[in-house]
Amino acid sequence: MTASAGAETRKFGRSAGLLSSGIALSGVLTYVFFALSSHNLSAHEYGEITVLWSAVFVTISIAHRPVELLLSRTIAERRARGEETGSAMRVAGLIQLVVSAGLAALALLLRGPLQDELLGGSETLYWVLVVAVVAFGASFYARGFLAGNRRFGLLAALLFCESASRMAFALAVAVGIASGQATIALGVAAAPLFSLAVVPFALSLRARSGPAAPAASQGAPGAGASGLTVASGGGFAAGVLVVMMGEQTFLNAGPLLARAFEDAAAAGFIFNVLMVARAPLLVFQGVAQSLLPHLTRLGARGKDAAAAFHHSVAVTIRAIAVFAALVVLVVLVAGPALMQIAFGDRFEYDRLGLVIVALGMGGYLTATTLNQAILARGGARVAARCWGLTAAAFLAWCLLPVVGDIDLRIELGFALGAALLAAQLAVAYRGRAPGPPLQPDSPDEIEARLAGYDEVS
């Protein structure tokens, strides 16, 4: 490795570390947003906030993440080849505009069901939903631009600005500067707009750095410029869309299902219960974000590093088992009391339900580790099939009244779904390598890294 290549790798590692830190801090601030909201709103009002958040998050993850990944991968690939990136940005921008306009039109067309049935008749919450879903389109486009140009420090700043601004609205209510559900809800719409504060810095850095230097070694012999059209870009986005649908159904559909079967308060309750899984994920974020590049580098070395590859995965899973056991023990001893300290006394928490979700958390962390290992070996399609099957099984379990009430079905569904996902990914991981390994710091690795950061947040 040359000195310049080594310096570039170290620079990439520092930037990726900043991204991991930004994601973790963003997750903590989002947790604080909901804790403050729960303490300062009634059970029904808080439940409506969680329904609003779940609807926005599921929609933007499915609709906007594909364009983000399309843009980040295409820019990274073109910069590696020394090609211009302007045309790729224009095509991705056109796709993003079409997606955002389509979402706005659909929201207006479905205003009655969305406002009256999903959001309890609140006109304010409805318009927050519309503005947030559209505004996140610009924010996700900026994420793709920053990732493709390997500006991971600025991407971390974008995520921080988004979560900090959203949390500020809940904090304003908590300290008495403002009051009411509407103020907290406005934070959901304002957050993606505040996140764009980093864009001028990104554009100024891009103007100073100029175009990427040609790198003949990156392309195949005789390869021309990598063309991107609306058709090819849309095809890629549609493929990622399938992955996002499976992922978001499993992780975020619980509160929406509770709202459909019961009421907004039930949605707020199950949202808080699932935080038993999400809060420990914040601890694991740094591990998950560093695991993919580590395994990618080992995988790129071939059979010589196979033992180290498998050892890294095994050590991580053993650490998860110990961590999950400690969380289950804490939940058994003081789970209901800790939940009321964190989210207020609006709800009475069942110890068994909390334990079930804590066990599911261990299964999910295991599945995430195996997922990163499969991605590092080029098995994105295999991983996508596992996520899709798990999402379908989760929905079938929750929609069919086979056991208990909707709260218990969601809790059991999360735990059983995590176990099913981990089992499928374990079979895929132990089988023959699903594809060629990713190359370190390549566009494919950047794409895989970005595809996983909502999964662990």
Q: Domain range holding 445?
A: 253-457
- The answer to whether residue 296 is domain-embedded is yes
190 plus 257 within the same structural domain: no
Statement: residue 150 has pLDDT above 50: yes
169 plus 258 within the same structural domain: no
Whole-number average pLDDT of the chain: 81
Number of domains in the chain: 2
Q: What is the spatial distance between Cα 258 and Cα 396, in angstroms, rounded to a whole number? A: 14
165 plus 55 within the same structural domain: yes
Chain length of the chain = 457
Domain end residue (candidates: 172, 205, 238): 205
What pLDDT, on the 0 to 100 scale, is given for residue 436? 65
Domain end residue (candidates: 173, 205, 237): 205
- The answer to whether residue 214 is domain-embedded is no
pLDDT tens for 92-112 read 899 999 999 999 999 999 999
- The answer to whether residue 321 is domain-embedded is yes
- The answer to whether residue 362 is domain-embedded is yes
What pLDDT, on the 0 to 100 scale, is given for residue 450? 63
199 plus 300 within the same structural domain: no
65 plus 199 within the same structural domain: yes
Phi, psi of 168 (to 5 degrees): -60, -35
153 plus 295 within the same structural domain: no
Q: What is the spatial distance between Cα 363 and Cα 425, in angstroms, rounded to a whole number? A: 11
443 plus 306 within the same structural domain: yes
- The winner for highest mean pLDDT among 76-80, 143-147, 249-253 is 143-147
Check: CB of residue 206 under 8 Å from CB of residue 149: yes
What pLDDT, on the 0 to 100 scale, is given for residue 321? 93
Could you give the 3-state DSSP secondary structure of residue 219?
coil
169 plus 281 within the same structural domain: no
182 plus 281 within the same structural domain: no
- The answer to whether residue 237 is domain-embedded is no
- The answer to whether residue 219 is domain-embedded is no
272 plus 150 within the same structural domain: no
Tokens of 251: 């992780």
Domain end residue (candidates: 181, 205, 229): 205
* Residue 215 burial (CB count, 10 A): 12
Closest C-alpha among 178, 219, 188, 186 to residue 79: 219
What pLDDT, on the 0 to 100 scale, is given for residue 154? 86
432 plus 314 within the same structural domain: yes
Least confident of 36-45, 58-67, 283-292: 283-292
- What is the full DSSP assignment across 58-116? HHHHHHTHHHHHHHHHHHHHHHHHT---HHHHHHHHHHHHHHHHHHHHHHHHTHHIIII
Q: At which residue do the structure tokens 């039109």 appear?
A: 105
- The answer to whether residue 193 is domain-embedded is yes
The pTM of the full predicted model, rounded to 2 decimals, is: 0.80
For residue 143, give the amino acid letter. R
The Cβ-side half-sphere exposure at 196, using a 13 Å CA radius, reads: 11
- The answer to whether residue 226 is domain-embedded is no
What pLDDT, on the 0 to 100 scale, is given for residue 330? 94
- Cα 3 to its chain centre, rounded Å, is 35
368 plus 430 within the same structural domain: yes
